[in-house]
Structure 1
Amino acid sequence: MSLLKLEQVQASYGPSQALFGVDLEVAEGEVVALMGRNGMGKSSTIKVISRLLKHKSGSVILDGRDIGGLPPHKAAQAGLGLVPEGRRCFRNLTVRENLIAAARSGHWDMARVTALFPRLQERQEQLSASLSGGEQQMLAIGRALMTNPRLLMLDEATEGLAPVVRQEIWAAVRTLKSETGLALLVVDKSLAELRQIADRAVILERGTSVWRGDMAALDRDIADKFLGV
């Protein structure tokens, strides 16, 4: 059963159109990779789902409900968790305060988040501004998990991180897939890593869904054509 479904979504930033027809579906417990070259509409699609960007046509359905008219905080309450590009932690709050600020009752609490990312336990009284980039990314993921979402969206969660830190982030994502059954929508450039975790992929080109299918069917010809890798 579909948890999230987008049909022919179009969206603009003022007069500049970003999305021309995005079709996307995520089932309960499924991991979907949202892929494409830079500037093809991946982050804009995430913003539309999160209601940070209004769409002008098409539909955004979450668990059978049209959420197109919801403000961002209501979309979050409906079960959407976002790890945004650029992390955006509350710089003047401690690690603990960042996590508590987002907390909603459910499976994910402080103990489970810090078990997933032990470094957050070690640094829980530090201001988030003092953390390394990798630690801030762990905090951003932990903060999103503390909202106890039904769908977690990761927008370039490994961008700009050192290789060893990227591997820590990917290990955590694999844990989320294998142990929690949480639905995930993942934007990332690492095809090799996405192949390990994603059930299906959606590829965007110029704001349009140009390929959708099982990850196993995403062969080298498709990757060369649409991803340039």
Structure 2
Amino acid sequence: MSLLRVENLCASYGASQALFGVNFTLAEGEVLALMGRNGMGKTTTVKAICRMIPSTGTVQFAGQDLHRLPSFRAARLGLGLVPEGRRCFASLSVAENLIAAARPGPWTTARVCAFLPRLGERMGQRAASLSGGEQQMLAIGRALMTNPRLLILDEATEGLAPLIRAEIWATIAALKRESGMAILLIDKSIRELAQVADSAAIIARGKTVWSGAMADLSADVSEQYVGV
């Protein structure tokens, strides 16, 4: 049984329609790469799943219809979001950012700091004083503190130096290996996605144009819909 089922998802920003039929499923413990060029609807899909924008179609999570729920209740079902642009609480300390998101479960402040040691070294620092890579780690740690069943990472490596990008990818691989949670990934790096993703769905012009096992994604399809 699928943990997340998205069927014929359509969404608009005012009078401008952005999604015209997005379809994919994600199982417990699976890592799915949501792929496509810039502006094709990936982040809009995430916003629709998380109930940040109105949408139609089917978005079913853990057997519940998310369209019936406000965003905060959808999140409480187990949606953990690492948003594009990080969006840490700049004036709060690292510790306060983590505590603000905490919900009961195995991911505690101590476990997050053990998993992301750099956060443990900076618990008293304000988020605004952290480097870009450290802020991204904080955004991941904050999402883990919600104890999600599904972790959504929207462009988690965007704008970071190569060494920091490699560290983020290592963190994602460790989460897959050690946590068993489902993960939905948006990123531009096909090579890194291929190393961690079990499956993929490609969006072009607001519609799913390909979905399947990551191992079955051909170079031709990748070049047609994802390559620059």
> Given the two structures, how large is their TM-score scaled by the length of structure 1?
0.98
> Which residue number corresponds to residue 125 of structure 1?
124
Amino acid at match of 2:43: S
Q: Deviations over 1:18-69 (max 9, x none)?
A: 00000011100000000000000000000011111110x2111011110112
Quote the Cα distance in structure 2 between the aligned partners of 1:193 and 1:224.
16
- With 133-142 and 67-76 compared, the bigger mean Cα shift is at 67-76
Structure 1 residue 79 displacement after superposition: 0.6
> Which residue number corresponds to residue 176 of structure 1?
175
Amino acid at match of 1:20: F
> Which residue number corresponds to residue 136 of structure 1?
135
> Which residue number corresponds to residue 42 of structure 2?
42
Pairs within 5 Å for 1:14-163:
14-55=14-55, 57-163=56-162
Quote the Cα distance in structure 2 between the aligned partners of 1:104 and 1:15.
37
SS at match of 2:67: coil
Matched, 1:213 2:204: no
Quote the Cα distance in structure 1 between the aligned partners of 2:116 and 2:70.
30
SS at match of 1:179: helix
Q: What runs of 5+ residues in structure 2 fail to find an aligned partner?
A: none
Q: What runs of 5+ residues in structure 1 fail to find an aligned partner?
A: none
Q: What do you get for the CA RMSD once the two structures are aligned?
A: 0.7
SS at match of 1:29: coil
Q: Deviations over 1:175-229 (max 9, x none)?
A: 1101111100000001000000000000000000000010001111111111125
SS at match of 1:152: strand
Amino acid at match of 2:127: S
SS at match of 1:186: strand
Matched, 1:6 2:6: yes
